[in-house]
Amino acid sequence: MIFGGSSTQSLAAALAGELDDELALVDYERFPDGELKVNVGDVAPDRAIVVASTASSDAHVECLQLQDAAREAGASEVVTVLPYMGYARQDEAFDPGDPVSARAVAGALSANADRVLTVNPHETAVCEFFEPTATAVDGAGVLANPLPDDLVDPLFLAPDEGACDLATTVRDAYGRGATDHFVKHRVSGDEVDITPSDATVADRDVVVVDDIVATGSTMSESIAVLRDRDAASVSVATVHPLFAANAVTKLRRAGVSRIVGTDTLERPQSVVSVAPAVAEHL
Ligand code: R5P
């Protein structure tokens, strides 16, 4: 039986469809003091699959409650799917006094999970913070599906070296094209410097591929560079369309032609589903 978080209802339903499993009708309540409470109804699951992206602190609490409610309802196995794992980018103590936030949340989420899966974590190493080690699901290939068949001399570009594998995955799924990467230096939380590669982009259709678009700084800087160099079009493909604050506006102002994301986070741009990729691991 599938138990979806309030922000992950579409993917939970898609996964239920893929697995031909029942979808629990979860109620989500907020008390006047701000505390949350889920209710999973009168169910008796054998295997419970909790599907909840943890993009906010509330979503973390909700996920913990879903795990606990499933156990309380008698589930002998609780599998937790984190389509988007929040706090994963704080995977080390970058400054003296910092926490390793990814380890802290993984510890809490492991307490009531027999198995954890997460989709394209920022660094696969965060999987080791879970007990037992989480499974990293690669859902990026599906990002090729909404791209038009007739891209001209397509270039699948990673905005930094860390996204090279993603760009290659999407290129391979698309079936043709080259890959390349820029070099990124992060100046602050919402400011980055992009050093372009030597690749010729004029008159080519470029697809910039990244795991997360958060503030949109990485993507908008990349798009601007590509527009300056006369790319025919610039599409953005991202596994996790977080789009914090005015990220979408930044991308539009920079001249993006198309934005495609998956349903790890429910956004208007979440046009493809990672449900089949997750289902393969279940
Ligand atoms: C970091 O290296 C990630 O892969 C993304 O590039 C980053 O999270 C994007 O953040 P933003 O949209 O804030 O530039």
Whether residue 218 is predicted with pLDDT greater than 90 in this model: the reply is yes
Query: Are the beta carbons of 83 and 11 closer than 8 angstroms?
Result: yes
Known catalytic membership, residue 184: yes
For range 226-255, the mean pLDDT: 97
Total-model pTM = 0.96
User: Judging by DSSP bridges, how do beta strands 47-51 and 77-82 pair with one another?
Assistant: parallel
**Ligand 1 mean position, distance from CA 72 (Å):** 38
Whether omega for the bond prior to residue 268 falls within 30 degrees of 0, making it cis, is no
Averaged confidence pLDDT in the chain: 97
| Burial of 100 per CB tally in 10 Å (0-12, 13-18, 19+) | middle
Query: What is the model's pLDDT at position 188?
Result: 85
What integer pLDDT is reported at residue 256 of this predicted model? 98
Tell me the torsion sign for CA atoms 221, 227, 230, 235: positive
Of the pLDDT bands very low, low, confident and very high (cuts 50, 70, 90), residue 190 is confident
C-alpha dihedral over 141, 214, 111, 100, to 10 degrees? 120
Beta bridge mates, 145 = none
Ligand 1 pocket by Cβ (under 6 Å): 122, 159-160, 162-163, 192, 210-219
- What atom in ligand 1 is closest to the CA of residue 186? 14
* Residue 189: pLDDT band with limits 50, 70, 90: confident
pLDDT digits (tens, 9 = 90+) for 158-169: 999 999 999 999
Give, using CA atoms, the residue closest to atom 8 of ligand 1. 212
Tens digit of each residue's pLDDT (9 = 90 or more) over 16-73: 999 999 999 999 999 999 999 999 999 999 999 999 999 999 999 999 999 999 999 9
Report helix angle 101-110 to 57-72, nearest 10: 20
Instruction: Kindly state the DSSP code that residue 137 receives in the 8-state scheme.
Output: E
- pLDDT at residue number 187: 87
Give dist(CA 40, CA 71) in Å, integer.
11
Alpha-carbon distances of 280 from 57, 105, 276, rounded to whole Å: 29, 25, 6
Using DSSP, state whether 99 is helix, strand or coil: coil
CB atoms within 10 A of CB 169: 22
Distance between CA atoms of 229 and 231, rounded to whole angstroms? 6
pLDDT at residue number 197: 87
Give yes or no for a contact between 280 and 17, defined as CB atoms under 8 angstroms apart. Answer: no
Cβ partners under 8 Å of residue 222, min gap 6: 157, 159, 182, 194, 208, 234
Task: Evaluate if residue 80 carries a pLDDT over 90.
Answer: yes
How many residues in the chain?
Answer: 282
The 8-class DSSP code of residue 27 comes to E
In this predicted structure, the answer to whether residue 192 has a pLDDT above a threshold of 90 is no
Least confident of 35-39, 196-200, 223-227, 249-253: 196-200
pLDDT tens profile 102-134:
999 999 999 999 999 999 999 999 999 999 999
pLDDT the model gives residue 142: 98
Ligand 1 centroid distance, CA of 146 (Å): 22
Residue with the nearest Cα to atom 5 of ligand 1? 212
Atom of ligand 1 nearest to the CA of 216: 12
